[in-house]
Amino acid sequence: MLMSCIVQSYAQTFDNQRLSNEIKTNFNSYFGAYLRPFTESFGAANGLMWQIPHKAGAKFNINISTFVTGSLLPDTYKSFDFNTLNKVNFELVNPNDNILPTLTGGQTTNTMRYFITDDNGNRLFDPIKNDYVTVDIDALEGLNLPIQITPAAGAQLGIWTPIHTGLALRYVPNTNIQETGQIGLLGIGVIHDIAGWFKLPLEIKAGFSYQKLDIAINNPIQDNPNPNKFTFNSTSRSFDLTIGKYLWIIKPYLQISRITYSNELLLSGRFTYDFEDFTGVPGPIRDQIKLDFQDPVDIKTNNTMINYGGGLFINLGIFYLQAQYMLGTFTNAGVAFGLKIGF
């Protein structure tokens, strides 16, 4: 039996590029499912908190606010079925435990196993270990969040002009964080009160907002001998229609929004994998196999959703509070505290 395995091994050939492509396919498929709560919901709440406080007849005001928003996810985002993933020679050590947690899910003790195969699809066997040659990766545990939520926070500068139009800005210049990475943010909003031209008792506002966030982390895989980088880019656009009315110091409003957003996660760099115990495989075969792959993770998502709901302004002198609650694919909510001048 041992001699038969050795003779068979000598006849096997291995295309390292094929092996690299298979590993990248498996990585992207698994991490795409594991990170789904983040990649599919981040940016969904970017259409919130763009409203600028003003009263009908106000000529000009400036405001600055800080806000916190979040997207509430259904429980279906807690886990995924490993068997439904697009994968190649990728299996679970415990195949009966095929429901794995996502980033926001619970715990797991399962291990994923990639089988090294030759160019004819035969698995490489180690006769001394009496087992196949594999790359084993522990399935990641989730954060086990009690509430499925993707939070975000920021600050906004707003201006309301005499032509019944407001402009809003969210901005963080591209900033180096020591040697760890970089972050940058640009958000622009435009709001026009159509009813302002007709002295109507209601506000009827049409709005558009755009926001782009870029994050980079240098060398997140520190035990890799080669330079590597993690980058995250998120872009969102929102069109909305808002109807509101002041009732003393309170202004309730209704809003419907169409939000389009995209997210991209990329782990770039050159990575290698060294087998800890490869001794049972003949030397010529060991020399053939070099797991060396470039940019192993590249995940892109594009989403469009309709949000509908409402919000509330509470004016407290030069200060104000705002709350907003929107329904749709995700339940999006936010609160803000602001200061206004020239109200």
Show Cβ contacts of residue 51 under 8 Å, excluding neighbours closer than 6 positions.
191, 205, 207, 242, 253, 311, 313, 322, 324
CA proximity to 326, closest of 312, 311, 313, 314:
311
Q: Which helix (H) or strand (E) holds 212?
A: strand 203-218
The Cα 48–Cα 168 span in angstroms is 12
Over residues 112-118, mean pLDDT: 95
Q: Residue 41 — left, alpha, or beta (φ > 0 → left; ψ -120 to 50 → alpha)?
A: alpha
Query: In DSSP terms, which residues pair with 252 in a beta bridge?
Result: 312
pLDDT for res 277: 65
Please state, for a pLDDT cut of 90, what percent of the chain lies above it. 71
Instruction: Give tens-digit pLDDT for 123-165.
Output: 998 888 888 999 899 999 999 988 889 999 999 999 999 999 9
Q: What is the tens place of the pLDDT at every residue in 201-230?
A: 899 999 999 999 999 999 988 888 889 999
Q: What is the DSSP string of 39-80?
A: HHHTTTTTTSS------TT---EEEEEEEEEEEEPPGGGGEE
pLDDT band at 180 (very low <50, low <70, confident <90, very high): confident
Please give the mean pLDDT across all residues of the chain. Answer: 90
| Consecutive H or E run containing 337 | strand 331-341
| Dist. CA 236–CA 262, nearest whole Å | 6
- Roughly how many angstroms between the first and final C-alpha of the chain, as a whole number? 88
The tens digit of pLDDT for each residue in 288-316 reads 888 888 899 999 999 999 999 999 999 99
Residue owning tokens 């940016």: 43
Look up residue 329 and give its amino acid.
T
C-alpha span between 106 and 77 (Å, rounded): 11
